[in-house]
Chains A and B, each alone.
Chain A
Amino acid sequence: DAMVIQNPRYQVTQFGKPVTLSCSQTLNHNVMYWYQQKSSQAPKLLFHYYDKDFNNEADTPDNFQSRRPNTSFCFLDIRSPGLGDAAMYLCATSRGPSGRGSNEQFFGPGTRLTVL
């Protein structure tokens, strides 16, 4: 089945120790998104890629970076995790750019990040 896969599902890191979360998709979608979701809150968009074109949200801290080496994979790098970065990180994809169905976003299962 076509899907969005996130690894690992659970990640524990230490305060200030860099961590990388990964996302892969078999949907062959053009757009990939990274969201941060804290407990009892809505997902918050960090950035997205349209193909190789990177789009950062204005309020995304510099501590968060992303890489998309090819269509299928996208990585979220947190350079120096703080306690406030503990959250669920969600990857999503959409077909883009236009036409019926292009808006639909498909989410992965998420990676739960714990910062000690």
Chain B
Amino acid sequence: QQQVKQSPQSLIVQKGGISIINCAYENTAFDYFPWYQQFPGKGPALLIAIRPDVSEKKEGRFTISFNKSAKQFSLHIMDSQPGDSATYFCAASKEAAGNKLTFGGGTRVLVKP
């Protein structure tokens, strides 16, 4: 099963709050877990990514938490800003399979000022 399940589908958060998006995967062969940010009418942009040899990665206000045993990973957006309002996609891939990304369904985040 190649599916990646993402939740919630949408999220509203106040400016300064924390946005949390969760993803779960089935295929234990996945070895790369990126998060993409997409604004309306634009292509997805790589935000942050993690590999299964670490449990957490932080870049600025964005943090990925990774739980290998539970086959789950999550994106935390700290101090959320209105400019963070976008759709976020988690994804997973395995290098041996041509790096093909399996995407989650997406989460639309709205940050209210």
* Structural contact, B45 and A43, CB atoms closer than 8 A: no
Interface of chain A: mostly helix, strand, loop or mixed? strand
* Structural contact, A48 and B98, CB atoms closer than 8 A: yes
Residue among A42, A92, A96 making CB contact with B106, cutoff 8 Å:
A42
Q: Which stretch (B36-44, B56-64, B65-73, B74-82) binds chain A?
A: B36-44
Within 8 A of A (CB), among B86-102: 89, 93, 95, 98-101
- Determine the distance from Cα of A107 to Cα of B103 in the docked complex, in whole angstroms: 14
**Inter-chain residue pair count (beta carbon < 8 A):** 59
Pick the most buried of B93, B104, B108: most chain A CB atoms within 10 A of its CB: B93
Number of interface residues of B (CB under 8 A): 23
Q: Which residue of A lies closest to B87 (CB)?
A: A40
* Structural contact, B106 and A109, CB atoms closer than 8 A: no
Q: List 22 A-B contacts (CB under 8 A).
A: A31-B98, A33-B100, A41-B105, A41-B106, A42-B89, A43-B44, A45-B100, A55-B98, A90-B44, A98-B95, A102-B95, A102-B99, A103-B31, A103-B34, A103-B49, A104-B46, A105-B34, A107-B44, A108-B43, A109-B43, A110-B41, A112-B41
